[in-house]
């Protein structure tokens, strides 16, 4: 079951997440403000509680011995006791001749935040403003008035709190909410750390005087205090949020600009800043009396910019585009934080690193490398062509990475070529030191590991759903929620593989099919499962399902070739392909038969596996000039490049003989490459060995 804990966040920026020592999950994107989720409730809530900018009114009444000068503050609290900082102050000064017996508090501020369930009124004792005491506790967020008859002697028996620490740092105002403009959150050393200011550039804008007007934008209240830039110049600081298309600057724009212009909302002076919470208080970010954060470390200025933060071992590493710095602290970063350069490699964003067995794998524009604290080792040279021309770097803020321990593989999810979102993954098996590419039918928005049973498994967010990776035999559908299945359960009446009886540019029809997937754990229409059509030559094409009605499947995009009657279709087929290196034919053909031999696990249900040959470094596979059966375990049709393997062959062996030959020194075929190309059926395809014969 998937629980939606938050929606309505800006689609312009990915979120980052971190779990605090108390088990609460914190989420931020630098646009909408941080969120928190305790894992127990059905929804996330705003992280931190904003202090009131208003103040209560104070008066004295009745006879008594209370007199002096008193400062009074209000603060909000939630049901877990998490407070806000102090509100604006109210001061009341009373001489001994006007002493009274009761404090009357009216116009007590009310919070507009849902998590606030109570309020507190704090005041000092006469003659000092160092320590404040809890005078009144209100168990609701509605009452406008309350009172107290406590004298100073009685008040000092209540909960006390210094206004400033002994070192002069904010204390009563240490409960500021996390900085809303930072897009990265990290949990390290019993504190939460926020860094990397987010830029907002969606739509267009204009500035006239103090008014900022936008078109195609989704501005938020959290943008107050941020800066508007145009043409690389600062226009002004945002002081008010009117609505999602209108903002107000604190002063007339330094540099105005007309409608439809490119603009940017950001914080250039925070590019190297790292904010940190109080120890053990993940929602406490101290503010001074001017409302400025005080728990801030400024990194080294090197012309590079921060992209993330990575806890590894006993250190927090600050990641930039092309540098890594190590942050050290003995316990109080305000006093003893140290920052040192440790590597001249970087990281694309906060989601493009993952830890594995005490080391980390990271991706920057130069490739993928392993980091061990001070040393880096490039691991991506075998796939460097992806980094030279195929990766769509303009979409790099949406890339992400995660490690799968059961596969001993790290996946870097990237957008290739013209893709706008991550639909492919560069996969590195760190045990075998081998690479492969995964391509998915869904856009992969995020990835993580999660506990499932006794294991941690890789999950991914795809099209508003959560999918379990490396699980099952079909993509996008499952009759049950069981794990580690190698085949579909027997006895299912629903049709997942059948024969096409009719088709159009966007549909296929099977008059004999039963497409009643309503009771399945995941039905093909719930996530838009892929459906693959295989023609008589073994060629196959795949589209995602848009809907199923009766015996007709409608797909989301046009088929590249309209399917024919008697073609085979497979719902949820997982396509795969592997192309191996070049092999040179042996010169002595007569004593060296040429061919390819594949062993596999025999299946009870048909699957798709084609063997293709490429000669002399050609980019096109060799087609057969005639159908022949000079083989075991398969067949090839005329003018087709596909030798179609029969995966139900009881022996689990396929052998295809080659009829190509040459004499040494002739211009005949000398080089061969073998490619396997297929798609899963109702069972997981298991290939054990591939042997190319007659080559060296």
Divide the 696 residues of the chain into consecutive groups of 10 and give the mean pLDDT of each group.
73 94 95 93 92 96 96 96 96 96 98 96 97 98 97 97 95 96 97 97 91 91 92 90 88 77 92 97 94 94 96 96 96 93 97 97 98 96 95 97 95 96 96 94 91 88 82 84 74 91 97 91 85 89 94 96 95 90 79 85 87 91 67 75 88 80 57 91 90 89
Pairing of β 434-439 and β 465-468: unpaired
Note the pLDDT of residue 253.
Answer: 81
What is the pLDDT at residue 626? Answer: 54
> Which residue, 48, 10, 44, is CA-closest to 220?
10
CA distance linking residue 525 with residue 652, whole number of Å: 35
Distance CA(272)–CA(128), nearest Å, equals: 39
Cβ atoms of 272 and 297 within 8 Å: the answer is no
* DSSP labels, 256-285: -EEEEE--EEE-GGGTTEEEEPBTTBTT--
- Supply the DSSP string of 220-239, one letter for each residue: -GGGTT-EEEETTEEEEEEE
Q: d(Cα 573, Cα 597) in Å, to the nearest integer?
A: 25
DSSP string, 313-353: TTEEEEEESS-EEEEE-SS-HHHH-EEEEEES---SSTTSE
Give percent above pLDDT 70 in the chain. Answer: 96
Confirm if 107 and 146 have CB atoms less than 8 A apart.
no
What confidence score (pLDDT) does residue 120 get?
Answer: 98
User: What single DSSP character describes residue 385?
Assistant: H
pTM: 0.89
In sequence order, the β-bridge partners of residue 315 are: 312
* DSSP-derived secondary structure for 415-461: -BTT-SS--EEEEEETTTTEEEEEE-SS-EEEEEEEEETTEEEEEEE
The token pair at 12 is: 């312009």
Dihedral angle sign, alpha carbons of residues 509, 512, 518, 524? negative
What 3-state class would DSSP assign to 209?
coil
Q: Output the pLDDT for position 337.
A: 95
* Cα separation, 403 vs 399, whole angstroms: 14
How is the beta sheet containing 687-693 ordered, strand by strand?
A: 631-632, 653-657, 595-600, 687-693
pLDDT of residue 662: 45
Both tokens of residue 52? 């009131």
């Amino acid at each position: 079951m998937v629980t939606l804990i938050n929606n309505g966040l800006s689609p312009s920026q990915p979120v980052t997440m971190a779990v605090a020592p108390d088990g609460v999950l914190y989420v931020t994107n630098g646009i909408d403000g941080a969120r928190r989720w305790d894992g127990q409730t059905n929804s996330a809530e705003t992280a931190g509680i904003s202090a009131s900018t208003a103040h209560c009114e104070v008066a004295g009444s009745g006879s008594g011995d209370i007199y002096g000068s008193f400062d009074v503050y209000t603060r909000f609290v939630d049901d877990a006791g998490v407070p806000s900082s102090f509100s604006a102050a109210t001061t009341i000064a009373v001489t001994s001749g006007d002493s009274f017996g009761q404090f009357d508090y009216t116009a007590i501020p009310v919070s507009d935040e849902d998590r606030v369930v109570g309020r507190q009124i704090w005041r000092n004792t006469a003659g000092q403003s160092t320590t404040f005491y809890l005078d009144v506790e209100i168990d609701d967020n509605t009452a406008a008035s309350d009172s107290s008859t406590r004298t100073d002697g009685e008040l000092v028996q209540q909960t006390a709190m210094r206004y400033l620490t002994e070192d002069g740092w904010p204390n009563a105002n240490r409960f500021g909410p996390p900085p809303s403009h930072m897009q990265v959150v990290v949990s390290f050393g019993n504190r939460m750390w926020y860094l990397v200011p987010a830029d907002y550039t969606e739509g267009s804008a204009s500035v006239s005087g103090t008014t900022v007007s936008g078109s195609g934008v989704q501005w938020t209240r959290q943008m107050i205090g941020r800066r508007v830039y145009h043409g690389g110049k600062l226009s002004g600081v945002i002081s008010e949020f009117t609505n999602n298309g209108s903002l107000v600057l604190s002063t007339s724009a330094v540099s105005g600009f007309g409608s439809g212009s490119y603009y940017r909302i950001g914080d250039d002076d925070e590019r190297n800043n790292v904010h940190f919470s109080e120890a053990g208080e993940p929602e406490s970010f101290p503010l001074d009396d001017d409302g400025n954060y005080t728990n801030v470390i400024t990194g080294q200025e090197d012309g590079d910019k921060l992209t993330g933060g990575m806890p590894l071992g006993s250190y927090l590493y600050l990641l930039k585009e092309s540098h890594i710095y190590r942050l050290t602290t003995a316990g109080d970063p305000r006093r003893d934080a140290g920052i040192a350069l440790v590597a001249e490699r970087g990281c694309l964003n906060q989601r493009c690193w993952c830890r594995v067995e005490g080391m980390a794998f990271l991706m920057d524009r130069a490739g993928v490398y392993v980091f061990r604290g001070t040393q880096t080792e490039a691991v991506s040279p075998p796939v460097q062509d992806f980094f030279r021309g195929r990766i769509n770097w303009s979409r790099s803020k949406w890339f992400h990475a995660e490690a799968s321990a059961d596969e001993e593989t790290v996946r870097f999810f990237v957008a290739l070529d013209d893709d706008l979102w991550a639909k492919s993954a560069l996969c590195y098996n760190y045990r075998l030191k081998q690479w492969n590419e995964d391509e998915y039918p869904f856009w992969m928005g995020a990835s993580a590991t999660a506990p499932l049973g006794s294991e941690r498994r890789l999950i991914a967010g795809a099209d508003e759903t959560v999918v379990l990776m490396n699980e099952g035999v079909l993509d996008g559908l499952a009759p049950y929620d069981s794990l580690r299945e190698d085949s579909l359960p027997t006895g299912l009446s629903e049709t997942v593989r059948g024969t096409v009886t009719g088709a159009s540019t966007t549909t296929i029809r099977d008059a004999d099919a039963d497409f009643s997937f309503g009771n399945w754990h995941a039905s093909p229409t719930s996530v838009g499962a892929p459906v693959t059509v295989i023609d008589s030559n073994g060629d196959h094409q795949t589209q995602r399902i848009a809907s199923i009605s009766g015996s007709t499947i409608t797909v989301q995009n046009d088929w590249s070739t309209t399917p024919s009657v008697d073609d085979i279709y497979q719902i949820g087929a997982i396509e795969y392909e592997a192309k191996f290196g070049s092999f040179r034919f042996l010169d002595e053909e007569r004593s060296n038969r040429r061919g390819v031999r594949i062993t596999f696990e025999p299946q009870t249900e048909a699957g798709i596996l084609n063997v293709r040959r490429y000669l002399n470094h050609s980019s096109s596979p060799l087609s057969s000039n005639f159908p022949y059966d000079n083989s075991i375990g398969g067949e090839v049709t005329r003018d087709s490049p596909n030798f179609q393997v029969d995966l139900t062959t009881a022996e689990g062996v396929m052998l295809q003989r080659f009829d190509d030959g040459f004499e040494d020194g002739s211009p005949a075929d000398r080089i061969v490459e073998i490619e396997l190309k297929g798609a899963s059926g109702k069972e997981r395809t298991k290939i054990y060995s591939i042997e190319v014969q007659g080559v060296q």
